[in-house]
Amino acid sequence: MPAGRGRNIRGVNLSTRGELLATNRPTPRYIDEHFARVENRWDPDANPDGYVSMCIAENKLVWDLLGPKLAAGREVPQRVVEYDAMVGTASFREALAIFLERHMVGRPIDPDHVIALAGAGTVLEMLFYTIADPGEGILVPTPSYSGFWPDLETRDELQIIPAHTTSESGFRLTVDQLDEAVAAASVPVRALLFTSPNNPLGCVYSHDELEDIITWAETREIHLVLDELFALSVYGEAAFVSGASLRPALGPRIHLVWAFSKDFAASGLRCGILVSENEGIRQAVDGLAYWAAVSGDTQFVLEQMISDDAWVDEFTAENQRRLGLAYREVTAALEKASIPHVSAQAGFFFLCDFRPFMDEVTWEAEAELWEWLLTTANVNLTPGADCHIGEPGFMRLVFPSERTAAVVAGIERMGTVLAERRRS
Amino acid sequence: MPAGRGRNIRGVNLSTRGELLATNRPTPRYIDEHFARVENRWDPDANPDGYVSMCIAENKLVWDLLGPKLAAGREVPQRVVEYDAMVGTASFREALAIFLERHMVGRPIDPDHVIALAGAGTVLEMLFYTIADPGEGILVPTPSYSGFWPDLETRDELQIIPAHTTSESGFRLTVDQLDEAVAAASVPVRALLFTSPNNPLGCVYSHDELEDIITWAETREIHLVLDELFALSVYGEAAFVSGASLRPALGPRIHLVWAFSKDFAASGLRCGILVSENEGIRQAVDGLAYWAAVSGDTQFVLEQMISDDAWVDEFTAENQRRLGLAYREVTAALEKASIPHVSAQAGFFFLCDFRPFMDEVTWEAEAELWEWLLTTANVNLTPGADCHIGEPGFMRLVFPSERTAAVVAGIERMGTVLAERRRS
C-alpha cells in the first residue's frame, strides 16, 4: 500500500494522486496572490493605491477592437451545440490552416495536420503525453514560462531538464548549453521545448539562431516543439521568423504550438492549436481530445474572426502599434525608477534586474524582495525563480496586462520604495 | 525498457502510452461509423435513402428555442476573454448553484462546491482521478453509457467493475447485484458510479430505490458519484428524483455530476458540472482544471441563459413535451416494425430487443446484426456490447438525435429488412 493511501483529508480519503494534488497545488504563489487582489485594482481617481498586476501574460490594450468582433456574426448555426470532432470542426481547422499559412508559416498547411484543444497548456500537456513516458526528460531553455512545469510534470509525470542561459551573455541560448544540459541529465531526453518569441525575455530569434536549434534537434533525433504563442505580438525592429518556415515540411519530429490567448488577447476563450505532420501523434492526441475540447460556439466565433483577413491585418497592426507604444512608455518609467531590464522586441514582458536592490543576491533575497514589493508597492511581478532562471535577482514584468497608466503608476510606486531601500 | 519503447509508428517514435493511444483508439466503432456517414443524412425528398443516426445521445428537437437564446445578450463583457478561475467564474458558479437548487436538488447549494469543466466526461475523468489510483476499481451498473470506459480507464487507468442487471427483471438494479460485483472484483472498489435517469434504459429511479443505493454506498464507505445528466429530460409519468435531494447535505463521499449537453441540447458547448462538498477533492480537481477549462464566452452565454428562470421553465416544459411526443411516435413505429423494447420515462433512448431476429443469441450475432442494419437499412444504433450489457441481443436507439420523421423512416427501413430476415 503506497504511503498516503487511506489517509484522510478533512474527513475523507482521496487517492494518493488526488491527495498530492490537493496538498501540493501546482499553481505558483504569485498567481494565487494575483487572484486574491484582483478585485481591488488600481484606478487613478477611485483607487490610486490599488493593486497593479504585472505578472499575468494578458493583453488588455485591444478590447475595444476585439469586443465588437466577438459580438458580431452571432447568427450561430445549430452545429455549434452538436458533438463534432473533438480536435476541432473541419471548417475551423481549415480556417486555422489558412490563417497559420498567411500569418506565421508562409507555406500551405494541411488542415488535417491541425488540432484545436482547450488552451495551449492543454496542447502541451497532451502532446508531451504522447511523446514521452513517465520519468523521461524534456529540455527547456531558461528563463522560461513558468507554466511548462505543471503542464509537463503534473499529469504527464515528465521531468523538465533546464538548459540555463546566463545574464552575462544577455540570456542568449547556444547549442553548447543544450548539449551540456543533455549531458547532465540523469534521464533520457525525448524532446526540446523551444519558445519564440521568448517568454519572459521578449526576444525574437533570427533565422540563423533558429537554424542552429533545429539542426541540433534533428541531429540528436529528438522531438522539437516550437511554442510560438507570441508570433503576432511583435513590435520591435527584429521581425518574427517561425521555426516552422525553415523547413519545406515539419517532418515527424517538429511540432508547432500556437493559441488565441496572446496574439488575440483571448486567454479566457481557451483555444490552443497544434500543428503536427506526425500521424501517430495526431491519432494519440485525438484519443485524448474528448477531455479538452473547445466550445463549438467559441470555435465558430474564432473561425469567423480569423477568416476576415482585412480585420486580422488591421487588428494585428494596431495591436503591434499599441504594444510598441506601451513598451516605450513603460521603458521610460523603468528608467525613471532606475530599474535595469533586458530590451525586448516582442511579447508582453520586461525581464527586470533587481540585483542592485539586493544586499545578497540569493533566491531567498529574491523571494523576500518580491513579497516586499507586493506588500509595500501593491504590485505583483513574476519572480525569476518561477521562470526557473539559473541565477537569482530577476523578475518578469508584464506590461500590457493593465492599461499603461496603471503599469506606470505601479512602476513609480516601485521606484519610490526601492529608492528608500537602496538608501537604507 | 518497456515493450514498445523506441518502436516506430509511421517513421517516428512515440511514447509507450502514446503508441497505445494511437493504435487503440478509445472511441467505439459505432461512433466512427456515425461521423463517416453524417454528411449523407436522410431527407424525405432529397435523400430518402440517406443515413439515419440513432446512436448519439443528442437532442435535435429544440434548436428553434435554443438558437435565439444563444444569440441573444451578446454584449459580452471583457472578462470573457481574460483568465479567470479554471473551475468557472464566480458569477457562473453562483448562477449554477441557484439553477441546480431550483431545478434538481431542491435545497441551497454553496457556489463554492460547484465546479465547471469542459464536458461531463471531463468532470468524470478528473473526479475519478482524485478518488482512485491506477488499478483500483469503480462499480458501474449495466447496461451503461459506453463512454464511462474511456473516461475512467484510458487516462485514469482505473478498472470498471460491472454490476450486471438482467433482462429477466427488466434490468432493475438491486443491492444484491452490487454486493455480488464487489465480491467478484479482484481489485479494491473505491466508488459506485450511478446514472439516473438511466442511460440507456431511460428509466427514473424512485425515492426508495435511490435510498437503497445511497445507503448501500454509505454502509460500505465508498464514494458515490451521481450522474444525473438527463435530470430535466423527463417526459413520462414517473417524476425525476435527484439522489442529492435525499440527504440534507452530500457529505464528503457523494458527488453530483450534471451538464448542459443533454438537458439543454448543447453537447458541442463542452460544459459539465461537478458538485462536491469534499474540499480535498475540489482542491485536487482545481489542480487539474487548467487543462479542461470552459470557454469564458460560453460560460457567459450559459450563465445568461440559466439566470432567466422564466425562459428555463418554458424551455424545459416544451422540451419535455417534444420528447414525449417523439417518444410516442417512435414507440408506434417500433411496434409497427415488431421491434420489442423497454418502456422509458426519461432520456433519449429505447433499449431495443433484437433477440427475435437472431438465430443464435451471441455477441457475434449481435455485432453481425448491428453491421447488417448499418449497411442494409443505413441506420446506426449503439450495440448492446458497447453499453456493456451482461447478455447479448440488445441495442440502444436514440430517438431525438434526428427529427422524428427521420427516426421513423429509419425504423420503417429496419422493419422491412428485419421482416425479410425473420422469414429467411
Question: A21-51: per-residue pLDDT in tens?
Answer: 777 766 777 877 888 888 888 888 898 888 8
In this model, does residue B1 exceed pLDDT 70? no
pLDDT tens-digit readout, A48-73:
888 888 877 777 777 777 777 777 66
Residue contact B130–A58, C-beta within 8 A: no
Q: In whole angstroms, what is the distance from residue A362 CA to residue A358 CA?
A: 8
Q: Supply the DSSP symbol for B294.
A: P
Chain A residues within an 8 Å CB radius of B270: 118, 293-296
Does the CB of A10 have a partner CB in chain B at under 8 Å? yes
Q: Closest chain A residue to B190 measured between Cα atoms?
A: A15
**Does the pLDDT value for residue B262 go beyond 80?**
yes
| CA B186 to each of CA A84, A192, A402: distance values in angstroms, whole numbers, following the listed order | 37, 42, 56
A280 touches chain B (CB under 8 A): yes
A17: contact with B, CB 8 A cutoff: yes
Q: What is the mean pLDDT of residues B200-225?
A: 96
Cell reading at B24: 487503440
Instruction: Give me the residue label for grid cell 546566463.
Output: A166
Calculate how close chain A gets to B124, using CA atoms only, in Å. Answer: 10
What's the pLDDT band for B13 if we cut at 50, 70, 90? confident
pLDDT at B4: 35
ipTM exceeds 0.85, yes or no: yes
Phi and psi of A192, rounded to 5°? -115, 130
How far is B176 from B275, CA to CA, in rounded Å?
28
Predicted local confidence at residue B54, as pLDDT: 81
- Alpha-helix residue ranges (DSSP H) falling in B226-376: 260-263, 279-288, 296-306, 309-336, 363-376
Averaged confidence pLDDT in chain B? 91
**Site from B7, B14, B75 to mutate, A interface, most A CB atoms within 10 angstroms:** B14
Closest CA to A158 of A118, A127, A183: A127
Q: Do B269 and A81 touch (CB under 8 A)?
A: yes
Cβ of A365 under 8 Å from any chain B Cβ? no
Interface residue A402 vs chain B (CB under 8 A): no
Helical packing angle, B63-71 and B296-306, nearest 10°? 120
CA of B362 to nearest chain A CA: how many angstroms apart? 30
- Report the C-alpha gap between A265 and B82 in whole angstroms: 8
| Interval B279-302: pLDDT, tens | 999 999 999 999 999 999 999 999
The answer to whether the beta carbons of residues B255 and B225 sit under 8 Å apart is yes
Task: Determine the distance in angstroms separating the CA of B366 from the nearest CA of chain A, rounded to an integer.
Answer: 26
CB atoms A293 and B5 under 8 Å: no
Is residue A383 classed as helix, strand or coil in its secondary structure? strand
Farthest-apart Cα atoms in chain B, separation: 66
Of B15, B66, B290, the CB nearest to A81: B66
Q: CB contact, 8 Å: A78 with chain B?
A: yes
**Cα dist from A365 to A146, A356, A358, A368, B125, whole Å:** 20, 12, 7, 5, 41
| Beta bridge partners of residue B349, listed in sequence order | B398
- In a mutational test of the B interface, the residue from A285, A290, A305 whose CB has the highest number of chain B CBs within 10 Å is A290
Q: Could you tell me the pLDDT band of residue B43, with boundaries at 50, 70 and 90?
A: confident
User: In chain B, which residue's Cα lies nearest the Cα of A130?
Assistant: B18
Residue contact B118–A118, C-beta within 8 A: yes
Contact A130 B22 (CB under 8 A): yes
List, for residues B112-161, the tens digit of each pLDDT value: 999 999 999 999 999 999 999 999 999 999 999 999 999 999 999 999 99
Domains and CATH numbers, chain A: 27-64+312-423 (3.90.1150.10), 75-307 (3.40.640.10)
User: Which regions in chain A score pLDDT beneath 50?
Assistant: 1-11
Cα–Cα distance for residue pair A244/B209, rounded to 1 Å? 60
Write A390-393 long-range contacts (CB < 8 A, 24+). A390/A142, A390/A162, A390/A164, A390/A165, A390/A166, A391/A164, A391/A166, A391/A167, A391/A361, A392/A361, A392/A362, A392/A363, A392/A365, A392/A366, A393/A353, A393/A354, A393/A355, A393/A358, A393/A361, A393/A365, A393/A366
Residue B14 to residue A281, Cβ atoms within 8 A: yes
